[in-house]
Amino acid sequence: MNGRSHLLQVEGVSKSFGGLTAVSGVSFDVKSQVIKALIGPNGAGKTTMFNLISGILSPTSGKITYGGKAISGSKPYSVASQGIARTFQIVRLFREMTVLENVMMGAQTWSPGRFWDALFQLPTARKAEADIREAALEWLAFVDLLGKANESAANLPFGDQRMVELARALAARPSLLLLDEPASGLNDAERNSLASLLESLRERGMTVLLVEHNMDLVMNISDEIVVLNLGEKIAEGSPSQIRRQAEVIAAYLGEESHA
């Protein structure tokens, strides 16, 4: 793992909202083809960090680099076009669309289409739509939802909706996948299935950075873990290293064990 290149670098990043500092001087790297977890108690700054990486927020100070290129302050569409896709803690599907149509939306970053081509149904537009459809069907098969491609997204059970959101993010062909509490609301069987999917993505060469409260999932699939507390990084290391740190146990793991 040490020989792998750094895909994402977060250097001394801080984010303040008025007098409140949500993230303070946080630094960490994400190597290519690993699963890295970002953990900590509520209010630790995890989702703020995701929003900074994905372009929803701009850092107050510090620098974020992806693939050797500074992305600090870039707009979300620019970050997405460079190969970063994300999901959200609260599922955000187009409920009036079918499952397939939802996943096809994820491909817009690499196949934006042209207005006049689509308006006049030119061959280029038809080819682009066929490519997007094929990619979406492949990812629906990956998450075992191919049989529900034509169902309304609104009618799916919650666990399936989570998988549709994952498939939509994957349809964007990311190099880095940001997952915000992907196991939230899932039952044991669904969490086990999610773990298998994430391990499969890593084997395919995908890099995953996830925020997650389910410590069994985090400890079982993560290569590396970053721990935040009150906006600051308090630990970083392998799952076995994190388990042994008293400060982490006091701030988070111990609290989780009593939940």
Same domain? 191 vs 148? no
Token duo for residue 28: 């960490």
Q: Are residues 67 and 184 in the same domain?
A: yes
State the pLDDT at residue 88. 87
Phi, psi of 17 (to 5 degrees): -120, 95
**Whole-number pLDDT of residue 125:** 65
The reply to whether 215 falls in a domain is: yes
Q: Is residue 88 part of a domain?
A: no
207-211 and 35-39 beta bridge pairing: parallel
Q: 195 near 173, Cβ under 8 Å?
A: no
Q: 9 with 68, same domain?
A: yes
Considering the domain architecture, whether residues 190 and 258 belong to the same structural domain is answered as yes
Q: Is residue 90 part of a domain?
A: no
pLDDT tens profile 86-134: 998 888 888 889 999 999 988 876 655 554 454 445 566 667 778 888 9
| Whether pLDDT at 259 is above 50 | no
Helices (H) and strands (E) in the chain, counts: 11, 10
Q: Are 181 and 107 in the same domain?
A: no
Rounded Cα gap, residues 17 and 56, in angstroms = 14
Which of 173, 205, 231 terminates a domain? The answer is 173
Identify whether residues 63 and 45 lie together within a single domain.
yes
Token pair of 224 as six digits: 């590396």
Mean pLDDT of 137-163: 95
Count up the domains in the chain and report the number.
Answer: 2
Model confidence band, residue 248 (pLDDT cutoffs 50, 70, 90): confident
CA angle 121, 125, 127 (to 5 degrees): 120
Question: Alpha carbon 148 to chain centroid distance?
Answer: 23
Contacts of 57 (CB under 8 A, 6+ apart): 15, 48, 51
Whether 192 and 254 map to the same domain: the answer is yes
Residue where a domain terminates, one of 115, 143, 173:
173
The answer to whether 103 touches 167, Cβ cutoff 8 Å, is yes
Average pLDDT over residues 72-88: 91
pLDDT tens-place string over residues 159-204: 999 999 999 999 999 999 999 999 999 999 999 999 999 999 999 9
In terms of domains, do 157 and 211 share one?
Answer: no
Q: How far apart are CA 176 and CA 151, in angstroms?
A: 29
pLDDT at 111: 59
Whether residues 238 and 122 share a domain: the answer is no
- Average pLDDT of span 30-55: 94
Co-location of 133 and 206 in the same domain:
no
Query: Is 10 part of a structural domain of the chain?
Result: yes
Q: Are strands 176-180 and 61-66 parallel, antiparallel or unpaired?
A: unpaired
CATH of the domain at 185: 3.40.50.300
Q: Is residue 94 part of a domain?
A: no
- What is d(CA 190, CA 163) in angstroms, rounded to the nearest whole number? 10
Residue 187 lies in a domain: yes
H helix or E strand, kind and range, residue 253: none
3-state secondary structure of 40: coil
Q: Are 54 and 88 in contact (CB under 8 A)?
A: no
Is 91 a member of any domain?
A: no
Inform me whether the pLDDT recorded for 206 exceeds 80.
yes
Q: Which residue has the higher pLDDT, 138 or 244?
A: 138
Enter the pTM of the model: 0.86
Residue 219 has pLDDT above 90, yes or no: yes
Q: Which two tokens stand for residue 46?
A: 């995890």
The token duo for 129 is: 């739509």
Let me know whether 79 and 121 are in one domain: no
pLDDT of residue 119: 44
What is the pLDDT at residue 115? 43
Domain boundary, last residue among 127, 146, 173: 173
Domain that holds residue 114: 99-173
45 vs 38, 71, 76, 149, 207, CA distance in Å?
Answer: 10, 19, 19, 36, 21
> Could you read off the pLDDT of 222-234 as tens digits, one per residue?
999 999 999 999 9
18 and 52 share one domain: yes
User: Does some domain include residue 92?
Assistant: no
